[in-house]
Amino acid sequence: MHPHIWYPFTQAKTSPPPLKVKSARGVWLELKDGRKILDCISSWWVNIHGHTHPKIAEAIFRQATELEHVIFAGFSHDPAEMLAEQLTERLPNGLNRVFFSDNGSTAVEVALKMAYQHWVNQNQQRQKFIAFEGAYHGDTFGAMSVGSRSIFTQVFSDMLFEVDFLPYPATYIGDPKIVKREQEVLNQLQEKLERNPKAYAGIIIEPLVQGAGGMQMCRVEFLQKLHQLAQQFDTLLIFDEIMTGFGRTGDWFACLKAQVTPDIICLSKGITGGFLPLAVSICSEEIYASFYSDDPIKTLYHGHSYTANPIGCAAALASLELMVENEPAFKGMEEKHLQYLTKLREAPKIEPKIEKLRVTGTIAAMDIVNSQKSGYLNKIGLVIREKAIEKGLLLRPLGNVLYLMPPYCITDEELSMVYQGIGEILDSL
């Protein structure tokens, strides 16, 4: 470990020293010792077009020589305005007002504050949120509160506000009971809302895929029924698309794939193609209208030093252009993942070691069968991680959940190498 750095999510005493990266291009990282590693997880799920894409690099350079930063209160600029226009144009009608911040956790904080104050501004006290077991919404206090209670939040549990949790109806290929499980969750939700219709400010969910919770995947049908209930009982629906946004689920956004328009959507990770920190919380005109007033107390008093940073916005605009150019890449990856997963399962030595295979768009996942308890602390993940590095692959299983989330620029040959490597690793377990 470096003597002056405190690394995130890392117990320095027991972790191996981090690998030092010198440079990167496309899906490849080059380490300082000369080794080449194929990035199968888009860095921290951010790097949708691959590393150091020249188009984004150029856009950043150009913007940096034009306007690098300006206070975003009382001032505005083209990159932010153009980005807001393009995002709202891409998103379902109704998601109309863009609030900028600088990372996923802050985008969630903003969404929670928007939802809560939306009711306060209409003289309603709605103190509670509904969220899902296994959810991850970030590491700040509000985001932790609506996240699943886990080893990540355990130390702070007394400091978190109260949230009602529902099971996330996760499914997989060949799941026979999903319709029943979904109905049970919806029944629980309906009961809560009927019992106390004015208690809930909103419902927050990671649509289609729960990321850090273990790449758990739910169905479009569930999200549609969830939306119906939220509307029927007049509570707000917040989609945390920080991981699922920008092509990850095989469509531009999970809400488009599900044909559901939430009241607020949070976006970050892929927004700048992995170059710079940036985030947005985008809400409906109705929410915005409840803040629009002569009364100063109805203002959303929230902002960050780097809110709508022009260079970040310029990177995001360049990344959106690349998404248009590369639409077939993220729309076509689901089919490829499915073919490779089928092959894996056909290998007699591998089949008993994996279960709950699942794919949504560019994300493929499976559970590794072993005797330890499932979850983040399952040690099989570390074993796989080390074996993968030996094979030149960056994989970072979430406990016993092995997943792939490659940059969209991965070639067929590279993807084939990745699955070949995974096959060998599973074989050796």
Ligand X SMILES: *Cc1c(COP(=O)(O)O)cnc(C)c1O
As measured in angstroms, the least distance from the Cβ of 138 to ligand X is 4
Integer CA distances (angstroms), 169 to 176, 241, 364, in order: 13, 17, 17
Is 301 annotated in a binding site? The answer is no
In the complex, minimum distance from the CB of residue 7 to ligand X, in angstroms, rounded to a whole number: 14
User: What Rg value do the Cα atoms of the chain yield, rounded?
Assistant: 22
Give the range of 53-61, 130-138, 166-174, 378-386 binding ligand X by CB under 6 A. 130-138
Report the site for ligand X in 293-332 (rule: CB under 6 A).
none
The site for ligand X, by CB under 6 A, has a size of 15
136 is in an annotated binding site: yes
Instruction: Tell me the CA end-to-end span of the chain in Å, nearest whole number.
Output: 29
Q: What is the identity of the amino acid at 6?
A: W
Minimum CB separation from ligand X for residue 263, in Å? 17
260: how many CB neighbours lie within 10 A of its CB? 20
The secondary structure of residue 140, as a DSSP letter, is S
Bridge partners (DSSP) of residue 354 are 368
Which stretch of DSSP H or E encloses residue 216? strand 216-217
Is residue 203 within the footprint of ligand X (CB under 6 A)?
no
Contact range with ligand X by CB under 6 A, out of 132-140, 178-186, 280-288, 336-344: 132-140
The candidate with the shortest Cα–Cα distance to 354, out of 178, 176, 172, 212, is 172
Binding residue (CB under 6 A) for ligand X from 26, 50, 134, 138: 138
305 assigned ligand-binding residue: yes
Number of residues that this document lists for the chain: 429
Per CB under 6 A, which of residues 88..107 are in contact with ligand X? 103-105
Tokens linked to 254: 């999970």
Q: How many C-beta atoms lie closer than 10 Å to residue 200's C-beta?
A: 24
171 binds ligand X (CB under 6 A): no
- Find, among 119, 99, 124, 103, the residue nearest to 111 by Cα: 99
Does position 142 interact with ligand X (CB under 6 A)? The reply is: no
Residue 105 is assigned to a ligand binding site: yes
- Residues 236-265 binding ligand X (CB under 6 A) are 240, 242-243
Choices 9-17, 62-70, 135-143, 318-326; region in contact with ligand X by CB under 6 A: 135-143
Alpha carbons 137 and 243: distance in angstroms, whole number: 10
| Residue 149 annotated as binding site | no
CB-count burial class (<10 Å; 0-12, 13-18, 19+) for 150: middle
From the list 84-92, 235-243, 257-265, 315-323, the region that binds ligand X by CB under 6 A is: 235-243
Instruction: List residues forming the annotated binding site for substrate.
Output: 44, 136, 269, 303, 396
Positions that interact with ligand X (CB under 6 A):
103-105, 108, 136-138, 206, 211-212, 240, 242-243, 268-269
- Binding site for pyridoxal 5'-phosphate: what residues are annotated? 104-105, 240, 304-305
